[in-house]
Amino acid sequence: MDRSQGRKSRTETELDAVMTDDSAETAIGHRGLQLEETLSFEQGSPDRCGVDLPDPPKTGNRLGGLARKEAIGLPGLSEPQVVRHFTRLSQKNYGIDSGFYPLGSCTMKHNPRLNERMARLPGFADLHPLQPESTVQGALELIDTLAHWLKTLTGLPAVALSPAAGAHGELCGMMAIRAALEARGDSREVVLVPESAHGTNPATAAMCGYRVETIAADDGGRVDVAAFRERMGPDVAALMLTNPNTCGLFERDIIEIAEILHAGGGLFYCDGANFNAIVGRVRPADLGIDAMHINLHKTFSTPHGGGGPGAGPVAFSEALAPFVPLPYVVHDRDGYRLVEHADDASGTPFGRLKAFHGQMGMFTRALSYMMSHGADGLRQVAEDAVLNANYLLARLSPTVTPAFPGTCMHECLFDDRFLKGTGVSTLDFAKALIDEGFHPMTMYFPLVVHGALLMEPTETESKATLDLFVEAVESLAERARAGEVAYFQGAPRFTPRGRLDETAAARRPVLRWKEPESAEEAA
C-alpha cells in the first residue's frame, strides 16, 4: 500500500471514527495534547500576580484629581499561567516553522536565522530615528548599500526606500508618475490596469486621482496586446502591470507593451511583488519599466504576515529619478547623510511618504540575505522557485485541472473543473487539506479564474515536501470524485475549531472580551 492510500485508509477509519464517537468529546473540551485554551481574562484572578513589585512611594495626589477609581481590568496571572497560555496559543497556530505554506502570491518562504541575528545587532536594533547622523553612519551605509543592490538587480538608477510595504510602494510609484506628468504640463487622467494585475493596483491609481480602465487578458492568461494597443491614447497616464502576473505567468509581450505605452507618452509602472521569480535573471530596466516596487518581505526573505512588518522600496527610471520622495541617503566626502528637505535635493521630490526613513529591521534582514547569497545565489533563488512551481504543475496536472496551458513561473494556477459534478467546492477542498496537515493554497484568486487554486512552493521547499503535498492533493481529489461530499463539507475536523461562519465573522466581529454579568451568561 503506498503512502497516499495509507493516508486515505487512516482518515476513513480511525480518524473519522474518533470524530463520530461521542466519548471523544470531553466536558472540558480537551483532546489529547490539544488543550482548550481560555482567554487570559477568564483565567485571571485579582489576587494573583506573576511578579512582586514594591509599593509606590507616597507622594500625594500625583494625578491632580485624575486618580483611578476602579480596577483597570487586567488579568492577574502567575508566571506559569502566562507561559503556558502563550505556549498553547502558539501550538494552535500554523507557521512556516511548522510546515509547508503553498499560498500563491504570498511567498511564505523560510527566513534564515542569520538574518534575524543581524537585525538584532547593537547599532541596528536599538537605533532611534532622531539620533544625530554622526552616530548612525553604519546604519546609513547599510541603507545606501541596500539601495545599490536594488539598483543593480533592477538596472534602474534611483530607489526610494521609505515605503512601508507593497501597496505603499505602489502609491509611491504612482505619485512619482503623477509628479512627472504634472511637471511637463500633462493632465492625463486614465490609468490602464490589466485583469491579471494585483488587486491593489486599481485602488492605488484611484487614490492618486486617476480613472481606472481594465485591459482584458487573452486566452493564455496574459495581457491582450491588441486590446491594449487599441485603447492606448493621449489620455493614458500610465499602465500598471504585474509581471510575473497573478496567474503565475511571465508577460511575454512586455517589451512591445512598453514601446506602445512610451510612444503614446505614458509611463510604465510594474508591480514587482513577484520579483522573486526573475531576480538575477531579468533586469526590469531592460523591459522598459519606469517604476517598480519590490517587496523585501517576499523576494528577500524578511518575515511578513499578520499586518507587518514589511518594506516596499521602489526603483525608478531616469525619467522619474528627479521625483524620488524624501528622505534618501547620499554619500559624499563628509560621509553618509539623509537628504531631508526639498531645498537640499538634486531633483524635485514629490514630498515624503512617512515621518522617518523606513523599516530598518527589514533593510538589515534583506541585505543580509542578498550578501549571503551573492549575485549567483539570487539567480538560483529565481531558478529554484520556478523549478518547484513547475514540478507541482507537472505532478498535479493529471489530477487537478491547470487554468492555462504551458509552463508557469513561481506559482502554478489551477481551476475547479476537476471538481465539476462532485458537489465539492474549492473552499471544501481547501478545508479538507488542513486535515492532511497542510496549510491551504490560495483560493478564488485571481478572480479571472473560476474556483482558482493558486500554489506557490517557493525555492526553499524540498522535493520530498512537494511530493507529500502532491500525494495529499491527489488523495483528496480521488475522494471528491468518489462522492464523499459530506467528508469535505465537514472539514476541517482535527483543528482546535471546526469550520466557522466566515461571513458572520466578517460582519459581526467580536473585538473584545467583556466579563459576564451573571452566572447564566457565563455558562
CATH number at residue 217: 3.40.640.10
Most confident of 12-16, 135-139, 298-302: 135-139
Task: Spell out the residues 6+ positions from residue 389 whose beta carbon is closer than 8 angstroms to its own.
Answer: 248, 408, 409, 410, 411, 412, 455, 456, 457
Choice among 344-348, 420-424, 518-522 with the minimum mean pLDDT: 518-522
Q: Looking at the 3D structure of the chain, how many domains does it have?
A: 1
What's the Cα-to-Cα distance from 139 to each of 89, 135, 246, 338, rounded to whole Å?
A: 36, 9, 35, 11
Q: Write down the mean pLDDT value for the chain.
A: 90
Place of cell 504576515: 305
Domain annotation covers residue 402: no
Examine residue 168 and state whether it is found in any structural domain, yes or no: yes
- Report helix, strand or coil for 514: coil
Per-residue model confidence (pLDDT) at position 516: 77
Instruction: Label residue 438 by pLDDT band (50, 70, 90).
Output: very high
Q: Give me the pLDDT at residue 51, please.
A: 87
More reliable by pLDDT, 415 or 30: 415
- The answer to whether residue 469 sits within a structural domain is no
* 55, HSE (Cβ side, Cα atoms, 13 Å): 3
Give 145-204 pLDDT, tens digit per residue: 999 999 999 999 999 999 988 899 999 999 999 999 999 999 999 999 999 888 899 999
Residue 484 within any structural domain of the chain: no
The pLDDT of residue 139 is 94
| Residue 376: pLDDT over 60 | yes
How does DSSP assign 99-119, residue by residue? S---BTTT------HHHHHHH
* 164 belongs to a structural domain: yes
The answer to whether 75 and 44 have CB atoms below 8 angstroms apart is yes
pLDDT band for 304, please (50, 70, 90 cuts): low
User: Given the DSSP bridges, would you call strands 158-160 and 314-316 parallel, antiparallel or unpaired?
Assistant: antiparallel
Residues pairing with 413 in the sheet: 454
Q: What is the per-residue pLDDT for 24?
A: 45
What is the average per-residue pLDDT within 493-519?
A: 85
105 in a structural domain: no
Question: Is 71 part of any domain?
Answer: no
From the list 324, 316, 326, the residue with the least C-alpha distance to 291 is 316
Per-residue model confidence (pLDDT) at position 305: 56
Residue numbers of the domain that contains 298:
115-370
Question: In the block, which residue shows the cell 473560476?
Answer: 450
Is residue 27 in some structural domain?
Answer: no
